[in-house]
Chains A and B, each alone.
Chain A
């Protein structure tokens, strides 16, 4: 079972100018003391087109983690504008917070981020070269997209494999969807998630 579950991520200082640092207050619960640190990362997706433009804004070790509820603030500098394709500077992108244990990612929290000019003039006629100093970053804090992955929390590495590779028919007559990779987090797959959110907005 997952030893660590994220209880909440609060987006601090939002919205804020493009150049100001990201701040997330993360609270999580740990069911058993962890032998090693957790590693948290903030990844800024520069362009929807390719992972190439992903920027790891920062990564930080968090520990020691005894059993209990914990919180910390994860602050990371704003992305480097020069690494963002000009066409993607304004508009919606994504920021990801990931956490890994022993190098295995077990949770990914994604937020939509909207970068737009505050100045209506600029908004109507955006400059050819994006003016980052005028951009405001707005994180869609109310709608985090959380994907959890099963990982091996114990030290010896071959155990998870054993679980994942076991013959599903042996256990329960139908295929186990043990590997949580693609598709699970897609809107349609989280029952009620999307309608729920649209309800919020009306």
Chain B
């Protein structure tokens, strides 16, 4: 086992005993290697060349790996290293052996282990990781003095960060029944934490008082029966010992002595009846076994074999030794059942339940809670089995993507691949996705970047199932000699005559041995003298203009990112003139100046059919922005820049145009055409309004010139000269006799049955034309525009008739009709948003995906909060507060906008955050409001719905979230019971 000459810091045997993992220093990175166990156990297997010794090696860690630990189920492997990361590995089941590209074939990975989660949180080297019993949690400790508890069911969620150590935390161990976790640190203390509330149970310092110097690791261990905790690196009478700590009262009466130097590792064995500690390790008071002179350097980690009779020991000197003991030497090991029996007799019956519920910490008080927890498990199981089924069927269709074999795809790849030019003229290739990642744990996997439309993830997966992929990996079929046999003779022929000639120089490809091999160039003689090139292979060249690329790539990429998102809506639409009159030159210049001035007024004029860019949200937010004829823009821009002291705000007025066209929505396709003064009937000039909706057309005439028009799926409205506003149904029927506006129209806008008119005098009105009521009555924009040099940059009307004004200073206000107030719903400079970090509370799948008016107003919220934490090292408490404040703002804003979808999204997020961070009072208040009075009383002011959502339904959605934190199980129970009462009523 001396393959890894650099130090090996950790070793762990797989729960099924067939393999073990080591972690340590690789060549230029951290290295995790999974080894086959049988060659270690049996000499015959060791000699058998067909039995692989190394199964897989992963050099993904950036720096030395300090710890590797298998989950109890054996499904996952966790590794932690100096790169501050913890990686969780899972075996990718149906990829065959593969080689690492560019390395020799013998290093083939027999098994494929893939990193499924990277846990980032520690700010220093990760020293130890430990899976809790039943794999519910993963704990990690670090030189940043903290211990982090991760939710192993939902990585990378953090359940708790245990702070308290004042030195580097170098070892962790879970109580076998999962009630405690113990950590040992360089601060000469051993701390025991409760898993119930993640608070400190006790801190033991006495045995460590005398300790001088530090060790690399302090791997402590709990005895399998849970009675004793054995610490590393204690001192007793100036002699290094392994301190034994009793569970009862955390007494420290016993210790293991015999070591001459500091004890770094203690691992309890499978345990012998009654006294699980006697064979603890290496040198004891009356040590069972004394082993020394085995290694050149100190021992870093130890792992017991399945039968409890063997141990694997790894050392700084880069080797792993296997020590085999006989039954007589150690005594009889306990079987799993016996162990469980001991647990049960010692800690009570509850264990059985806990085992099942994967919750080893707390007694579950409520059967509903238990049921819920079980259901969750069941769902996970179902998902798992479903995914395995899927993969199973996928393999049977091996190597076919959408009826095309991988070979076919490869043949046509060049033709098929999508190549575009970026804004700065660079080539950009969209790679063909040949496979999703196969671990099933990747939520991002449902992403199809390929032109193969409609292919299911399942069939996508199949494309790289082993038989097809192997040739791809191991050889290069298209390289000369292999796939083109015809060229082979040519090469050979050309080589042979040349071979007769004198080797002019060693660089010549025609040396004699070369003639023997069919492919001339593979001869080592040719490669050997190429030292001159060696540096070229390995050095990042300065000639590679990488640096400038950084600047050029990023902005374009950013733009692209934006494009992909809903922000799409905010892009100024192309201007296009339908009429060919004198205005023609205007649109040519306007768009650029428009964007320059950051006047994001969206101009949505004709674009009859924009291919390839279906705007999905156009129905949801029909015409999200003000509609204007290009000619007005100039006027608007100037007029909008109203200075503060202006007594009367004056908004720009659209000037009359001969004709214009306006696209209302693309799906269903709907556009409005306006032609002013087309016909003259009896001396009166008539204007024509034409509307085309999915091919159906209607038209009507108006007596005065139409200044601006707007439409939605329900209504079409036009504002004419003489302050007249007319509203038509989708079929062209006039709905109202013309409305006389108080002042000339500035902007007209429709959403659903709501019509919004912004007049030149900066008053805003919104009517619901179907119900024929006023929603907002001539509300002045004074309060939001006054006081500074601001302009309205964007106008929006939600589906509920709530008008929203985006101002040039990045703030957005919506008008709350029930309170008659302007409410601030978004602020681009909001420092809260920049500090808030609630990513851990995000449901994994729909991460930030929540569309609606709030999302449109605020644009894409970045996860800058996370970065803020790292960049400015915001203290956790501060970030917690800002996150809370931010989330509350969001909930309130969604409520004000009456965006039910977003309200639900943010409420759930907020609740999840409260649950995660343990804010009980606020959570309770939310629940109380959602639940309402259980027993009906007439005097109740309680509304059963909020923005169209039933509050109690919301509460039902909230319950599973609350159920995730056992601290809130009382709350969970209360709500559950009351909901049950309500249901039974």
Write the residues of chain A forming the contact surface with B, with a CB cutoff of 8 angstroms: 1-2, 5-15, 23, 25, 27-29, 31-33, 35-37, 39, 41, 43, 45, 48-49, 51, 54, 56, 58-75, 91-94, 96, 98, 100, 102-105, 108-110, 112, 114, 116, 118, 120, 123-124, 138-147, 149-150, 155-156, 159, 163, 166, 170-174, 176-187, 189-190, 192-194, 196-198, 200-202
In the complex, the answer to whether A193 meets B480 with C-beta atoms within 8 Å is no
In the complex, the answer to whether A166 meets B428 with C-beta atoms within 8 Å is no
In the complex, the answer to whether B101 meets A15 with C-beta atoms within 8 Å is no
Interface: B83 (CB within 8 A): yes
Contacts of A102 in B (CB 8 A): 550, 553-554
In the complex, the answer to whether B64 meets A176 with C-beta atoms within 8 Å is yes
In the complex, the answer to whether A64 meets B414 with C-beta atoms within 8 Å is no
Given A13-B478, A105-B540: 8 more A-B contacts, CB < 8 Å: A94-B530, A108-B538, A112-B521, A123-B510, A146-B101, A150-B28, A156-B871, A186-B538
Contacts of A187 in B (CB 8 A): 534
Contacts of A190 in B (CB 8 A): 103-104
In the complex, the answer to whether B25 meets A59 with C-beta atoms within 8 Å is no
In the complex, the answer to whether B535 meets A61 with C-beta atoms within 8 Å is no
Contacts of B445 in A (CB 8 A): 66-68
Contacts of A143 in B (CB 8 A): 522, 527
Report which of B60, B101, B114, B432 forms a contact with A8, defined as CB distance below 8 A: B101
In the complex, the answer to whether B444 meets A33 with C-beta atoms within 8 Å is yes
In the complex, the answer to whether A35 meets B561 with C-beta atoms within 8 Å is yes
In the complex, the answer to whether B537 meets A73 with C-beta atoms within 8 Å is no
Chain B residue at minimum C-beta to C-beta distance from A66:
B447
B 540-571 binary contact with A (CB < 8 Å = 1; else 0): 11111111111001100100110010000000
Query: In whole angstroms, how far apart are the Cα atoms of A33 and B448 in the complex?
Result: 12
Contacts of A27 in B (CB 8 A): 434, 472
Interface: B413 (CB within 8 A): yes
In the complex, the answer to whether B426 meets A61 with C-beta atoms within 8 Å is yes
In the complex, the answer to whether A197 meets B431 with C-beta atoms within 8 Å is no
Known: A1-B118, A166-B82. A58 touches B427 (CB 8 A): yes
In the complex, the answer to whether B498 meets A120 with C-beta atoms within 8 Å is yes
In the complex, the answer to whether A37 meets B537 with C-beta atoms within 8 Å is no
Chain A residue at minimum C-beta to C-beta distance from B533:
A94
In the complex, the answer to whether A92 meets B549 with C-beta atoms within 8 Å is no
B 560-596 binary contact with A (CB < 8 Å = 1; else 0): 1100100000000000000000000000000000000
Interface: B422 (CB within 8 A): yes
Contacts of A197 in B (CB 8 A): 104, 522, 524, 527
In the complex, the answer to whether B553 meets A1 with C-beta atoms within 8 Å is no
In the complex, the answer to whether B216 meets A172 with C-beta atoms within 8 Å is yes
B369 vs chain A, min Cβ distance (A)? 35
Query: In whole angstroms, how far apart are the Cα atoms of A16 and B436 in the complex?
Result: 34
Known: A9-B101, A196-B105. A14 touches B479 (CB 8 A): yes
In the complex, the answer to whether B478 meets A14 with C-beta atoms within 8 Å is yes
In the complex, the answer to whether B28 meets A60 with C-beta atoms within 8 Å is no
Known: A62-B428, A146-B103. A7 touches B472 (CB 8 A): yes
Chain A residue at minimum C-beta to C-beta distance from B547:
A103
Chain B residue at minimum C-beta to C-beta distance from A187:
B534
Contacts of A139 in B (CB 8 A): 479-480
Closest 4 CB pairs of A and B: A146-B102, A103-B550, A141-B479, A185-B538
Q: How many residues of B contact A (CB 8 A)?
A: 114
Interface: B133 (CB within 8 A): no
Contacts of B475 in A (CB 8 A): 142
Interface: B880 (CB within 8 A): no
In the complex, the answer to whether B83 meets A72 with C-beta atoms within 8 Å is no
In the complex, the answer to whether B480 meets A144 with C-beta atoms within 8 Å is no
Known: A70-B434, A123-B498. A147 touches B476 (CB 8 A): no
Known: A96-B536, A144-B102, A178-B62. A201 touches B479 (CB 8 A): no
Which residues, 908 to 959 on B, are CB-close (under 8 Å) to A?
none
B 797-841 binary contact with A (CB < 8 Å = 1; else 0): 000000000000000000000000000000000000000000000
Interface: B509 (CB within 8 A): yes
Interface: B508 (CB within 8 A): yes
Contacts of A155 in B (CB 8 A): 867
Contacts of A105 in B (CB 8 A): 540, 544, 546
In the complex, the answer to whether A116 meets B524 with C-beta atoms within 8 Å is no
Can you list 18 contacts pairing A with B, beta carbon distance less than 8 Å?
A11-B480, A12-B478, A31-B114, A49-B532, A51-B542, A68-B437, A69-B433, A69-B437, A70-B432, A71-B431, A91-B508, A98-B541, A100-B549, A139-B479, A142-B519, A171-B125, A176-B63, A201-B517
Interface: B878 (CB within 8 A): no
Contacts of A182 in B (CB 8 A): 535, 538-539
Report which of B28, B433, B507, B524 forms a contact with A68, defined as CB distance below 8 A: B433
Known: A48-B532, A105-B544, A201-B524. A68 touches B435 (CB 8 A): yes
Interface: B283 (CB within 8 A): no
Known: A1-B118, A194-B524. A7 touches B101 (CB 8 A): yes
In the complex, the answer to whether A45 meets B444 with C-beta atoms within 8 Å is no
In the complex, the answer to whether A36 meets B28 with C-beta atoms within 8 Å is no
In the complex, the answer to whether A193 meets B536 with C-beta atoms within 8 Å is no
B465 vs chain A, min Cβ distance (A)? 12
Interface: B7 (CB within 8 A): yes
Interface: B429 (CB within 8 A): yes
Chain A residue at minimum C-beta to C-beta distance from B82:
A171
In the complex, the answer to whether A145 meets B537 with C-beta atoms within 8 Å is yes
Chain A residue at minimum C-beta to C-beta distance from B532:
A48
Interface: B212 (CB within 8 A): no
Interface: B134 (CB within 8 A): no
Known: A15-B487, A171-B125. A1 touches B101 (CB 8 A): no
Chain A residue at minimum C-beta to C-beta distance from B298:
A173
Report which of B115, B449, B476, B527 forms a contact with A10, defined as CB distance below 8 A: B476
Report which of B63, B82, B414 forms a contact with A75, defined as CB distance below 8 A: B414
B122 vs chain A, min Cβ distance (A)? 12
Among A59, A66, A144, chain B packs the most CB atoms within 10 A around the CB of: A66
Report which of B60, B444, B550 forms a contact with A66, defined as CB distance below 8 A: B444
In the complex, the answer to whether A70 meets B433 with C-beta atoms within 8 Å is yes
B 454-492 binary contact with A (CB < 8 Å = 1; else 0): 000000000010000000110111111000000100110
Query: In whole angstroms, how far apart are the Cα atoms of A1 and B539 in the complex?
Result: 20
Query: In whole angstroms, how far apart are the Cα atoms of A187 and B140 in the complex?
Result: 38
Query: In whole angstroms, how far apart are the Cα atoms of A123 and B686 in the complex?
Result: 87
Interface: B61 (CB within 8 A): yes
Query: In whole angstroms, how far apart are the Cα atoms of A9 and B106 in the complex?
Result: 19
Contacts of B347 in A (CB 8 A): none
Query: In whole angstroms, how far apart are the Cα atoms of A56 and B427 in the complex?
Result: 14
Chain A residue at minimum C-beta to C-beta distance from B6:
A174
Query: In whole angstroms, how far apart are the Cα atoms of A159 and B63 in the complex?
Result: 13
B503 vs chain A, min Cβ distance (A)? 12
In the complex, the answer to whether B476 meets A1 with C-beta atoms within 8 Å is no
In the complex, the answer to whether A60 meets B428 with C-beta atoms within 8 Å is yes
Among B413, B513, B530, B540, chain A packs the most CB atoms within 10 A around the CB of: B540
Interface: B616 (CB within 8 A): no
Contacts of A96 in B (CB 8 A): 536-537, 541
Chain A residue at minimum C-beta to C-beta distance from B523:
A201
Report which of B7, B28, B526, B867 forms a contact with A177, defined as CB distance below 8 A: B28
Known: A60-B428, A67-B445, A146-B101. A31 touches B544 (CB 8 A): no
Interface: B143 (CB within 8 A): yes
In the complex, the answer to whether A63 meets B544 with C-beta atoms within 8 Å is no
Interface: B355 (CB within 8 A): no
In the complex, the answer to whether A70 meets B444 with C-beta atoms within 8 Å is no
Chain A residue at minimum C-beta to C-beta distance from B494:
A118
A170 vs chain B, min Cβ distance (A)? 7
Report which of A43, A104, A118, A142 forms a contact with B543, defined as CB distance below 8 A: A43
Report which of A2, A8, A193 forms a contact with B472, defined as CB distance below 8 A: A8
Contacts of A103 in B (CB 8 A): 546-550, 553
In the complex, the answer to whether A31 meets B115 with C-beta atoms within 8 Å is yes
In the complex, the answer to whether B538 meets A36 with C-beta atoms within 8 Å is no
In the complex, the answer to whether A51 meets B541 with C-beta atoms within 8 Å is yes
B548 vs chain A, min Cβ distance (A)? 8
Query: In whole angstroms, how far apart are the Cα atoms of A170 and B9 in the complex?
Result: 14
In the complex, the answer to whether A170 meets B867 with C-beta atoms within 8 Å is no
In the complex, the answer to whether A71 meets B413 with C-beta atoms within 8 Å is yes
